[in-house]
């Protein structure tokens, strides 16, 4: 019996010891903190902010592809920002999307500068015909002090301009006839962007211009509501305008920048680190976009020819005639935009051409 009693006592002792050890293991989790909570404090979940970027052209265009590059760069640098890229006006045309940024109901848009002139009259400066001679001049002026001054006008309109990307040099197409001289534009119903300078320039050339959002343009040409339009070759190619247009003339009459805009309401809600990541990514994807659009544009003319479009080069004499016809438009808008700003731009252009 004694032996049995001892055995029971030893077993009881062992049980108590086991319980004591198990209890210490739990407390080690609460460990040195002494919090006694038993679990390490949960890290507060991070708030992820989503940037939706709108653009009006389709998902083959370098503006959309550069948006994807921008997304990759931003998301590789932080887990607090997510980027979604939209094309073909899925979130609205340029003007609608820009208004949504001002309201804070959309975060970003890559838009032509032309519709911005409806918010900031000085932005019509980019629509003055025949001002940028080539890509190098355009890059130098847009990325220099003049471009910075233009971007600084945006915050008062609830917009932050991150960088200028490239839409490109614009060429006119139509379904009626080849345009080799100013006289050939006579009476043509030409769609323009919603911008007074474009409207006045095509009136000065004898056409019958009508403003229209890009998202409505293909249907308007298909239904012959308009005879023609004007856009960079890459846009004409990738939007398949050759399906509804027969003639393209290499006027290169305006260089349109894209401007990458962010809603100021959204921007002001970001940390300084997030703002820096976005700004640097906008510059990096700008350089990618310009290289990509220029590379792709090299093949556009052959594609347009292969799809049945006639291509007309302007003679020097015809180009001089186009430039003379729109000169009064430049003079008119130099006054409206402000002579000092226009002169500053031309000074920067002259510097870039040296």
Burial class (CB within 10 angstroms; exposed 0-12, middle 13-18, buried 19+) of 223:
exposed
What is the rounded CA–CA span in Å between residue 98 and residue 317? 40
| Residue 276 beta carbon to ligand KDG: minimum distance, rounded to whole angstroms | 26
Restricting to residues 178-237, name those near ligand KDG by CB under 6 A: 193, 214, 231
Q: Are 212 and 115 in contact (CB under 8 A)?
A: no
Restricting to residues 80-99, name those near ligand KDG by CB under 6 A: 93-94
- Show the 3-state SS of 89-105: CCCCCHHHHHHHHHHCC
Residues in the chain: 354
Among 98, 112, 173, 289, binds ligand KDG (CB under 6 A): 112
Q: Indicate the SS3 state at residue 110.
A: strand
Is 57 a binding residue for ligand KDG by CB under 6 A? The answer is yes
CB nearer ligand KDG, residue 241 or residue 267 = 241
Q: Hunting for tokens 């990738």 — which residue is that?
A: 238
Is 56 a binding residue for ligand KDG by CB under 6 A? The answer is yes
Is 167 a binding residue for ligand KDG by CB under 6 A? The answer is yes
Token digits of residue 68: 């994807």
Among 171, 174, 256, 312, binds ligand KDG (CB under 6 A): 256
Q: Are 53 and 85 in contact (CB under 8 A)?
A: yes
CB nearer ligand KDG, residue 56 or residue 158 = 56
Among 111, 245, 249, 312, binds ligand KDG (CB under 6 A): 111
Nearest by Cα to 125 from 144, 147, 107, 140 = 147
Q: Residues 293-332: x/- map of binding to ligand KDG (CB under 6 A)?
A: ----------------------------------------
CB nearer ligand KDG, residue 172 or residue 281 = 172
| Residue 119 beta carbon to ligand KDG: minimum distance, rounded to whole angstroms | 14
Torsion angle of C-alpha atoms 139, 144, 146, 152, degrees rounded to 10: 110
Please identify, among the stretches 51-59, 118-126, 127-135, 314-322, the one whose residues bind ligand KDG according to the rule CB under 6 A.
Answer: 51-59
What is the rounded CA–CA span in Å between residue 178 and residue 248? 7
CB nearer ligand KDG, residue 57 or residue 150 = 57
Angle (CA) 247 251 254, round 5°? 125
| Residue 315 beta carbon to ligand KDG: minimum distance, rounded to whole angstroms | 26
What is the rounded CA–CA span in Å between residue 257 and residue 141? 11
| Residue 219 beta carbon to ligand KDG: minimum distance, rounded to whole angstroms | 14
CB nearer ligand KDG, residue 56 or residue 209 = 56
CB nearer ligand KDG, residue 64 or residue 322 = 64
What is the rounded CA–CA span in Å between residue 263 and residue 109? 9
Binding site for ligand KDG (CB under 6 A): 55-57, 93-94, 111-112, 167, 193, 214, 231, 256
């Amino acid at each position: 019996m004694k032996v049995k009693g001892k055995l029971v006592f030893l077993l009881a002792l062992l049980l108590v010891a086991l319980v004591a050890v198990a209890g210490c293991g739990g407390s080690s989790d609460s460990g040195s903190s002494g919090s006694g909570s038993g679990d390490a404090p949960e890290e507060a979940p991070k708030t992820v902010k989503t940037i939706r970027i709108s653009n009006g052209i389709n998902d083959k265009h370098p503006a959309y592809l550069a948006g994807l590059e921008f997304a990759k760069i931003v998301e590789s640098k932080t887990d607090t920002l997510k980027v979604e890229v939209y094309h073909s006006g899925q979130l609205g045309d340029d003007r609608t999307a820009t208004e949504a940024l001002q309201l804070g109901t959309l975060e970003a848009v890559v838009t032509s500068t032309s519709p911005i002139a409806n918010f900031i009259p000085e932005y019509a400066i980019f629509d003055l015909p025949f001002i940028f001679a080539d890509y190098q001049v355009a890059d130098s002026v847009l990325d220099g002090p003049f471009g910075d001054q233009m971007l600084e006008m945006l915050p008062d309109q609830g917009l932050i301009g991150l960088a200028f990307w490239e839409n490109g040099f614009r060429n006119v197409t139509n379904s009626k006839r080849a345009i080799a001289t100013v006289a050939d534009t006579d009476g043509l119903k030409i769609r323009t962007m919603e911008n007074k300078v474009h409207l006045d320039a095509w009136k000065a050339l004898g056409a019958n211009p009508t403003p229209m959002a890009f998202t409505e343009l293909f249907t308007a040409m298909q239904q012959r509501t308009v005879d023609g339009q004007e856009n960079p070759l890459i846009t004409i190619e990738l939007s398949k305008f050759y399906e509804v247009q027969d003639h393209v003339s290499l006027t290169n009459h305006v260089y349109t920048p894209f401007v990458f805009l962010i809603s100021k309401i959204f921007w002001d809600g970001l940390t300084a680190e997030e703002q820096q990541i976005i700004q640097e990514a906008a510059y990096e994807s700008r350089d990618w976009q310009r290289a990509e659009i220029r590379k792709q544009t090299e093949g556009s003319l052959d594609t347009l020819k292969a799809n049945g479009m006639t291509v007309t080069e302007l003679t020097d004499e015809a180009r001089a005639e186009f430039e003379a016809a729109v000169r009064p438009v430049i003079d008119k808008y130099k006054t409206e935009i402000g002579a000092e700003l226009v002169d500053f731009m031309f000074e920067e252009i002259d510097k870039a051409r040296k």
